[in-house]
Structure 1
Amino acid sequence: MSTSPVPALSLLDLVPTRTGQTTAQALTASLDLAQRADELGFRRFWFAEHHNMPAVASTSPPVLIAAAAARTQRIRVGSGGVMLPNHAPLIVAEQFAALEALAPGRIDLGLGRAPGSDPVITQLLRRSGTTSEAQQFPDHVQDILQLMSPEGATVRFTSGGTYDVHATPAAEGSPAVWLLGSSDFSAQLAAQMGLPYVFANHFAGDGVERAMALYRQGFQPSEQHPEPQSFLTANVVVAPTREEAEERALPQLRQFARLRTNKPMRPLETIDEVHENPSDELEASFVQQNRQRWFVGEAREVADELRAFAETHEVDEVMISPSGGAYAAEDPATAIGRMQTIELLAGALAA
């Protein structure tokens, strides 16, 4: 048994959608996962934002957060994250102020600077385009913080006079705001604003040490956050045997490789499809490269690896993306690979 500190576990969900699975079935599986995470004592359950991707159904985090909040009792639910260039700050503030009223003290608003999709979709979401919106990110974060507060925000006109704006009529509290990123920019901005910070290790992997150091060294205490607060994300697959875990990791690993090699996107493959259609040499190299950053195996070994990971980066929480794929014969309204990952891992860390 390890004597290393036990990190709290949280979940990041992209609502993966596989071959032969409808959006409704994928959502059912994800909400079942949220309910089980609540029962197992996970700290948070966050939904990512992605658009126009055949294998990802997490297009609207606020809608999914509301559904998950209704199915759970104590776990924090939130966004990992809302991609701010896609949305007007007032709309984001209104959505999350309403969520906070529905589930007081349980809502997290994770904000990201990337658009989360291709340029065509970005133009459909925000007609002003990505560059100008990304450059305005710090101001928009500040706007959201003010709009969601019980005091609201004040618009001051250059000609004189003011105009008060509130995200909701009578807020009693505000969601917790986190900045997400995989670069120095977000780490430094979170430090300057005195906000919690999450490094997106599940898809970046490089630069984590520098980003965390910049955040901690530059942190300026705020009223809500007198000390820096951060955690990391990680792709995790746990199964009763290492062989099964490695097999269940294959569909997501190959999906990442397809992105890297500019191949057309498709619904997430089943494990059977991966075996029936072997990767070419380039794709296989990306699969192997990504596999080195993942936590895959039996529960006890993965638990020990996550303890060491958290200790190395001095965090008390790890947000896992449970990436276990499915066999073709499994019920499409379930996510057995992802469910057993969280159940087995929670049991091993508690042992």
Structure 2
Amino acid sequence: MTAISVLDLTPVPEGSTESQALHNTIDLARHVDALGYRRHWLAEHHGIPSVASSSPEVLIGHVAMATERIRVGSGGIMLPNHSSLRIAEEFKVLEALHPGRIDLGIGRAPGTDQLTALAIRRSREALTADDFPNQLGELLAWGGHAEFPAGHPYARIKAIPTDVMLPPVFLLGSSDYSAQSAAVNGLGFAFAAHINPGGAIGALRMYREQFVPGYVERPHAILTLAVIVGEDDEHAAQLASSGHLSMVMLRAGRPGPIPSVETAMRFQPTDPQQRMILEQVKRSMISGGPETVRARVEELMVSSGADELMVTTLVHDHEERKASYTRLAAALDIAVPEPAAAESVPA
């Protein structure tokens, strides 16, 4: 049976607040933990009114405390926004406090616009630097899974706690670059098909073909999809309309909280660009009743060869979001697992 996991962007519904969205994330985590989902990953985004996931490392600790079985991690930490030493320390602390239940997903995009990224990184040189491979190497060395090269100036620095190794590390991406980087470093890989629907098959094939045992002994590929499961196809289309309009607004440079279904159902694109964006967004999301979604998801899992499915669900109503995950669990026949044991590799 394919494992199913959650990618949570902590969406902010119209008429609510960012603070409530954070509490909704905790509530969703408890819900999917009880349903038998394998992982609950928290995203990193900055300055986007529709999502409140600005500090996944803080949320991870709270979600882990509020749940019992599910693995909790980042989906992902945008490594260029941070120092590798700081991330190594934070995730070793999380692993020490919640042994065997933490994942570290790493991305290389800023997770925001260029001006906000500049404010985060504090210099134009840091904003334009292309040193992700060096950052990743430092992270793995401080995490206890690699060695610094001889004579490296950081070799004597320790990431505390020193008696804990980094939790399982995954690279996240939506391109061949990320797939290749995960493969040559022997890491798990999560492909963002909700961002690049057409790139999954080729990227996951490249990952498997070029994989070299390293941090893990065998490749582990996660396929991330945007999925909404309604009571039937019509109900799902209504729920999905909020996410569709939210993405149209974001890409048109007018971001805002997730609009209500009532607002979204009244929306009509007024120009060719809006119509093009709306069609692209619809193609990137899978929505329907349980049987419709099951057929589509199973088709994509087989064609991609992924080991695990991760789902992000963007709807206005929090209870409907929980209900969508409930319907997905039933449609794909997942079962409640035993309490988590220590896990050193992404099984």
Do these two structures clear the TM 0.5 threshold for a shared fold by scoring above it?
yes
Q: Is the 8 A contact 1:113 1:137 kept in 2?
A: yes
Residues 65, 79 of structure 1: 8 Å contact kept: yes
Query: Partners of 2:33 and 2:13 in 1: how far apart?
Result: 24
Letter in 1 for 2:175: S
Which secondary structure does the structure 2 equivalent of 1:249 belong to? helix
The structural deviation recorded for 1:300 is 2.4
* Matching of residue 316 in structure 1 with residue 307 in structure 2: yes
- SS of residue paired to 1:203: coil
Q: 1:302 aligns with which of 293, 298, 322?
A: 293
**Aligned with residue 259 of structure 2, among 269, 275, 279:** 269
Q: CA deviation at 1:240?
A: 1.2
Matched residue, 2:63: 68
Q: What pairs with 1:19-168 in structure 2 (closer than 5 Å)?
A: 19-129=14-124, 135-149=130-144, 156=151, 164-168=156-160
Q: Which of 124-133 and 71-80 deviates more? A: 124-133
Q: Which runs of 5+ in 2 are unaligned?
A: 335-347
Q: Contact 1:47–1:81 at 8 Å: present in 2 too?
A: yes
1:235-246 matches, cutoff 5 A: 235-246=226-237
CA deviations 1:242-292 (Å, max 9, x no partner) are 2111011111112222233x3311111111122344332432332233213
Residue 329 of structure 1 corresponds to none
1:201 maps to amino acid: A
TM-score relative to the length of structure 2? 0.90
Query: How does 1:246-257 map onto structure 2 within 5 Å?
Result: 246-257=237-248
Please list the CA deviations of residues 207-256 of structure 1 after superposition, one character each: whole Å capped at 9, or x if unmatched.
Answer: 2222112211111112x422111111101111112211101111111222
Number of matched pairs: 333
The amino acid that maps onto 1:89 is S
* CA apart distance, 1:149: 2.0
Aligned equivalent of 1:173, options 153, 156, 165: 165
| Residue matched to 1:348 | 331
Amino acid at match of 2:8: D
| Offset of residue 131 of structure 1 | 6.5
CA RMSD of aligned residues (A): 2.1
Helix, strand or coil: the match of 1:55?
Answer: coil
Match of 1:17 in 2: 12
Counterpart-to-counterpart distance in 1, 2:189 and 2:96? 24
Structure-2 change in CA distance of 1:277 and 1:297 (3 Å): closer
Within 2, Cα distance between the matches of 1:289 and 1:151? 41
User: Alignment partner of 1:165: what SS?
Assistant: coil
1:14/1:187 CA distance change after superposition, 3 Å: same
Instruction: Find out whether 1:203 has 2:186 as its counterpart.
Output: no
Which residue of the other structure, out of 187, 190, 212, is the alignment partner of 2:182? 190
Give ranges in structure 1 of 5+ residues lacking alignment. 1-5, 327-334
Residue 280 of structure 1 aligns with which residue? Answer: 270
Deviations 1:303-348 (A, max 9, x none): 222122111111131100012333xxxxxxxx02210111011012
